[in-house]
Structure formats: structure tokens, C-alpha cells
Structure 1
């Protein structure tokens, strides 16, 4: 099975390196993507939108011979859900890593612009519960390789139009939340709850990590990805 791995903001395809080997060993073909405009200045990236990131995933889906599994970490969850909407008949499963399927019209988040791009804001920006399991060397190494994001990508509203996306099985691999906790949260999140409840086959698995399990518990994440693909 081709498993297309979509990183979150500021991360490139190499961020998936700790899980690529185990996926290969399990007989799958992992394809780790780097999104358009990542690390580029405003002069060359200002025209790149969220849809360009979604289109990059759609292109990877179209290059595959058979059905694929899409995996999106954090903001990459919005990206893969857009691709599911565009190719619902080609996606065997969508896996969200510490993320949830977004409703139409929502963005990823807002961050400060610096020189027309969005740089990595530093680990101190994030809540303690999200970074608690990242040791100092891991934080330093990841911060050194973090790349700026095109200005419009995080705030562009996602466009969704094909209700067949609800037929695609979904797995949520959540850092610290159980299924009951996830469902309790989304019930209070308005349109996010509506989107979640329309998915016909959804499972939630707790990783037992912070927000970046590919760095803190890669073996556990790889194990859960293999189990989700089944």
C-alpha cells in the first residue's frame, strides 16, 4: 500500500524519516512529501495557497497505481482532508496525527508574518502539554531544520464539496486524547463536530505523547500507522 505522509507546518518530508523504515519493513511504500514553497522567501512563495498544498497531495495520489492511505500531521490534516474530498474513490483510509478533519471554510491557524512568510515560532510558543516529551537535543535539532511557511497557507479556508469524503475510513492518532475526550471536545466545536459526526467509519487511538510523536515516540507512531493501514 502506498502511504502518503504529509507533514505539519514548518516540517519537510524528512520529518517522517523515523517512521519510514518501519513502514517499509511492514511491506508498504511510504511517500513523504515536502510542501510547495516551504523555506522560500516571500518573493517566490507569496502566491502559494493551501490549495497548492492539497494539489501536491492529489498529484501523489494520482501517481499511485492503486488506492492509497493519506497521513497528515497537525496542519497536514487539513491538507489530506482536502485531497480526500478531491479523490474519495482513491483513498483507502485517512490518518490524522494529533489533528481532526476540518469543516469547509476553516483554516489551520494564525501565526505572525515575518518578512512576508511564517517562520517557526519557537518551542516556547506551544503549550507545555504539546512539547513535554521533547527533550532539549530533539527540540534543538528540529528547530534547526524548521522551514518557513508561505503566508497564506495556514489561514486559507479549506474548500470541501464532495460528501463521498464521509465514506472514507478515518483514524485519529491523538497524542494524549482518548476517543471519549475527542468526541467531547468536537461536540463543543460547532462545525468541527458536525464534520466529525458525518464520517461513517472513524476510530480514535491515543498515542500517549505530545503533539510531535514522530520525534518523541517514533516506534509507537510507526506501530500505530501499520495497525491503521491493515
Structure 2
């Protein structure tokens, strides 16, 4: 499928420990069809930022708005925003504060969050950052399926520790219009049937999915990092989502 002329700008944001570089392969496939897409490194995940450890979710939300400005996003030309994994925190914040700027959100092995959500509520204040865990530990928390030794080596070499303030800050959500934004849920490490059942049962990680008014679900079976294990297929899903106008 090629991108239609009406496709919205695309902003891609990877999850924990990752910067814009994580989307390189996906962008290569999107650019084949001349998609207008921008991968973003969130504040706190730039290794050259001297204030990296003090960045907050508010800083990350502001950076997303800056990316929107760069792409000419407006009420009349809203964006498609792609959020992988832990990028759901700042992206949920954007949906709450500026739903009019988002035509569709694509959650990649991720999903919207409830108000009050905190990634690491028990993390002591004196802990400044959270580095990438060893892969034997990480693999118990998220599927590494489909990742080659070369990919894992690159992941480890380029991963940037998460700043403590981002992980301790609770989400404060007030605008139910965030639930009206058209949504594509890309289910990778957990099949959609299970995700939707967990949402219906009120599981805290998935409960907000049940409140989405316009939901499309796509199964893309692989591990938690499909931008590396199935980049071409993920690009196709994103391209299709950005091209939808209904």
C-alpha cells in the first residue's frame, strides 16, 4: 500500500533507553513511499545532554510539541503519533493536553495510561537514573523474540539510562477527549485477544484500552521491539494507519 496524499505527518517515539536511532530501519521502509516522518529522541535520552538526569515528563511532552511544530502540525493538519512501550507516558500526556493535534495514535506493544500512573513509584529520590538491565533480566519482563545477537549488541551499546524524574512522575490527566482520538493498537508480544480481555477485566496496564472510542487492532506477532524484529511489517502498519481518514 502506498501513502495517500492526505496522510498526516508521523512522529515516532521509542520506549525506554532508546532514541530516534531505534527507528532507522522503519524509517527506511517508510521513506520508500515518501512518508513524511520524524523519529524523536526524548529529553533525558540524549547521551550528550548535560542535564539529562533531571529531565521530566513535562520536558518530554514539550519536545513532542516541538516536533509537531517542525512538521507543521496544526488543528487542520494533525499528526499520527507512534508510541512504543514506555513512550506511552509522554504520549498519553500529549493526548490529554492537545488531542486536537493528533489524528491517530499508534501504540506499538504499548497503550494509553490511567491518571495517576507512575512507572517506578518506589524508586528512591536519590536514584538519578535507571540503566538498561542485563538481557537475562530484561527478557523476563519483555520478550526479546526476533532480536539477533547483533541487534542486542547495538541495543546494549547505544542504550541510555532513563532519568529518575521521568520514572517517578505521576500522570495527571483531566481531558476525556484523549479517548476520542482514533487509535491503532499494534499487539506484538501479547496477542490482541489477551490484551482486550485484560482491558475488559480492568487490568491496570490495559484498562484505558476499554475506554477508547475508535479502536483498530493489529496483531504483529514478535517480541517487544518490532522496529528491529519486523521493521518492514511495522512500517506498513504505520503507513496504513497514517493514511486512514475515516
- Once the 2 structures are TM-superposed, how far is the Cα of residue 109 of structure 1 from its aligned partner? 4.4
- Of 23-32 and 59-68, deviating more is 59-68
Distance of 2:122 and 2:236 partners within structure 1: 32
Distance of 2:96 and 2:234 partners within structure 1: 25
130 and 186 in structure 1: CA distance in 2 versus 1, 3 angstrom threshold: same
RMSD of aligned alpha carbons: 2.4
Distance of 1:43 and 1:17 partners within structure 2: 25
Distance of 2:151 and 2:161 partners within structure 1: 19
164 and 28 in structure 1: CA distance in 2 versus 1, 3 angstrom threshold: same
Partner of 1:209: 222
Deviations 1:106-143 (A, max 9, x none): 02347978972111112112235601221211111111
CA contact (8 A) 1:58 1:86 kept: no
Partner of 2:32: 25
Partner of 2:4: none
CA contact (8 A) 2:10 2:37 kept: yes
Distance of 1:194 and 1:122 partners within structure 2: 30
Partner of 1:51: 58
TM-score where L is the length of structure 2: 0.84
CA contact (8 A) 2:201 2:207 kept: no
Distance of 1:124 and 1:21 partners within structure 2: 30
| Ranges in structure 1 where 5+ consecutive residues have no aligned partner | none
111 and 2 in structure 1: CA distance in 2 versus 1, 3 angstrom threshold: farther
TM-score where L is the length of structure 1: 0.90
| Ranges in structure 2 where 5+ consecutive residues have no aligned partner | 1-7
Indicate yes or no: 2:129 matched with 1:117: yes
CA contact (8 A) 1:42 1:117 kept: no
Distance of 1:102 and 1:37 partners within structure 2: 21
Partner of 2:106: 95
Aligned residues: 230
- Once the 2 structures are TM-superposed, how far is the Cα of residue 154 of structure 1 from its aligned partner? 2.1
26 and 111 in structure 1: CA distance in 2 versus 1, 3 angstrom threshold: farther
Given candidates 15, 19, 22, the residue that maps to 1:15 is 22
Distance of 2:199 and 2:139 partners within structure 1: 19
Indicate yes or no: 2:133 matched with 1:126: no
